[in-house]
A and B are shown apart, each in its own frame.
Chain A
């Protein structure tokens, strides 16, 4: 409990650090909202015109006062207004988040649903042909970039069968579950494949590790069935590295999957941040990066709490 409070106290500190970093970083990049809107035509502006646009985009003040104004807004839940969308930044982010969350969950389900059994299977078949096959699959899965897989899937479906999931708009699950799944299953598979490969590899080696441990030998000696030894005794202890890996991966996925969103034209968080950076929509970049950071911290905390559930010997907070 103490631990939880201490962790929660660090949240604002980390968020503050992130906010300063992103605020400065996006401003250090050459170009601003004016050049993003006008391109080379920005050179036709008179100084007076430039000034009036700077006021419009809130660029006329010093960095410090811009930051201060933004930060005081953040404390009252106002992340500013996006100049691209003409709406509060938080609204824009929350519109995009369901898709990203669903995509991340689906990718995780695919990765763990396939990767974990595959890894355990390979571990029990150590150095046999089937183990080799699984390892080759994992190697290919991990080394093929997601955009290659995505483009191949799209090409194969459209050129081979003349079919394709609806792209460019998001159908919420509650409105049309079938339409929603048909839209997200391919991107989720694309995202999930390389992660499946990592899960397979890491669970294989973790299970292999514990299979040689004393308690497993004891369980076997007691005459426990093989499946029970693996699933009840070995696996829970092998899960720690898988949970660590999944936590990190899930955190990344919640930040959006830029390439896959780009290829499948899904309006998720990744593309939102990318477009915001390209259009120098400062408030939107700051708000969404902060949002992603918060997600990451929450996921990390959950991962730590899961450790305790999996292995009661682990005590959070330093005392062993």
Chain B
């Protein structure tokens, strides 16, 4: 009797184990098995601005140029380019080998059609704002495109490196198929997309950039990052993207897994609203800057996973934070500034933060709350769903906001939206400063790299001093991989284009 029962028990345990093992065996085909928590929200490269979409679209589409791991402009569809002396004409030579996934060659006419679409207001391309200096386009031959600009615009070249300026076939535009079918010229073709579940990519063997190291990519959307870690442990996934530092820092503890960390351009910031009292007062804003211990927030909320930063976060322009205004905490100075401004007793304000975006937003707000309490500022934290937060943020309807804002490779493209008088997000920044505006305009037209650095260094210093926002730190982008994955190169703009160089051992 007992024997029979034990045998039955062992039998059923064996069945359960075999069911589980059957699905866990790793395959050795050259298909990269990938996972991420957030899926793309659409396929139109000109309209999609969310990171989660761009990461997918960068594997399918190509812009004229691309940014490498050091944010230098390197060839993509264009093999070479040049600015005219007066920086008002920008000419690209296209790669004659470049082909779309439908077999048609990429021509100057496609480039012209793509930019015409981006600039057309009816398209609704948010990135249009970056290409407004384009006045006319000429196509002297099939492989040459000339952009005539209304004013000198040096940052335009870097802006061309965005997937929002992807080149799509003129025929697909005419057919109205952009966004429903993904016909690009990039390393992979989209074979199947089930939104919020998975996508299947197959290699584009005609890719002008060379043959990618894998035959295809299977991407699965695993919305919980703990589950991604579990899938990595069980070797179900070769390569995964992680957002949450709390999960990412567990990866190195698992044998056989490697974590790739890359400092990114996106910055964590405490946005003040200088149009609301008492943040209208320079001294109050500066007091807040002096009362904030950036390193402490970084260590507490982000487990130290990042670097303290000033306004400019790109490697070529980043300044030593210790040279910026009040970057080492000085509570006495902060209290004095508050008293000078007539707020010795402090004040109350509300700070908004988005739930889960970034994953550490709530803890950041809490640390900031406790730090500002020391100079008498009582913060009320309002956590909002991301979309509600975005809506509130766009209206500039907040006293303070904990934010993670995207960065750009060029300082002008990154900040003209906030700190120039005509900036589209001026109503979010709510701060007008003649010096900032004129430094931006100078930087836009200056072609000499050394002089540009000087201009933007002055901009960086001044912005930190007038403190409309309190810049905190930049984090890392994380990818985790198994030992069989080789050749991946991360970039500071968070792009996953490096996947095209991955090989599987």
Contact = CB atoms under 8 A, between A and B. Distances in A.
Contacts of A45: 124, 126
B222 A43 contact: no
Contacts of A53: 124
Contacts of A165: 20, 23-24
Interface stretch (A179-187, A236-244, A286-294): A179-187
B394 A265 contact: no
B55 interface: no
B123 interface: yes
5 contacts: A36-B41, A164-B236, A169-B194, A169-B220, A263-B227
A31 B236 contact: no
Given A162-B234, A267-B197, A179 B22 contact: yes
B187 to A, nearest CB: 23
Interface string B258-279: 0000000000000000000000
Contact of B390 (A40, A151, A167, A264): A40
A162 B233 contact: yes
A167 B234 CA distance: 11
B155 to A, nearest CB: 15
Interface string A162-180: 1111111110000000110
B168 to A, nearest CB: 17
A154 B198 CA distance: 20
A168 B126 contact: no
Given A49-B128, A159-B233, A167-B227, A182 B20 contact: yes
Nearest to A30: B391
A48 interface: yes
A213 interface: no
A41 B417 CA distance: 10
A71 to B, nearest CB: 25
Contacts of A163: 20-21, 24, 234
B124 A157 contact: no
A278 B39 CA distance: 12
Interface stretch (B314-322, B381-389, B486-494): B381-389
A114 to B, nearest CB: 15
The 4 closest A-B pairs by CB, nearest first: A168-B220, A31-B387, A164-B234, A158-B230
Contacts of A279: 41
Interface string A37-51: 111111111101110
A24 to B, nearest CB: 17
A205 interface: no
Given A164-B236, A178-B19, A155 B121 contact: no
A271 B425 CA distance: 33
Contact of B129 (A44, A164, A278): A44
Interface stretch (B46-54, B58-66, B474-482): B46-54
A56 B121 CA distance: 13
B234 A43 contact: no
A167 B231 contact: yes
B361 to A, nearest CB: 14
B194 A267 contact: yes
A263 to B, nearest CB: 5
A188 B20 CA distance: 15
Given A154-B226, A165-B23, A275 B121 contact: no
B428 interface: yes
Interface of B: 16, 19-24, 35, 41-42, 47-50, 121-129, 180, 194-198, 220-224, 226-227, 229-231, 233-236, 385-388, 390-394, 405-406, 417, 424-425, 427-428
Nearest to A171: B23
A51 to B, nearest CB: 9
Contacts of B20: 157, 161, 163-165, 182
Contact of B19 (A29, A181, A275): A181
A159 B124 CA distance: 47
Contacts of A271: 196, 223
Contacts of A137: none
A278 B41 CA distance: 11
Nearest to B124: A53
A142 interface: no
Contacts of B425: 40, 43-44
Nearest to B197: A267
Given A38-B126, A163-B234, A265-B224, A49 B121 contact: yes
B196 A35 contact: no
A99 to B, nearest CB: 10
Given A168-B35, A182-B20, A35 B227 contact: no
A241 to B, nearest CB: 32
A52 B123 contact: yes
B42 A37 contact: yes
Contacts of A38: 47, 49-50, 126
Nearest to A162: B234
A244 to B, nearest CB: 33
A52 B388 CA distance: 22
Contact of B391 (A35, A161, A179, A265): A35
A262 interface: yes
Given A44-B424, A49-B125, A158-B233, 17 more contacts: A31-B388, A39-B390, A40-B390, A40-B393, A40-B428, A42-B390, A43-B425, A158-B231, A164-B230, A164-B234, A166-B23, A167-B222, A167-B231, A178-B19, A185-B19, A265-B224, A272-B196
Given A40-B405, A263-B224, A267-B196, A31 B233 contact: no
Contact of A164 (B128, B224, B231, B388): B231
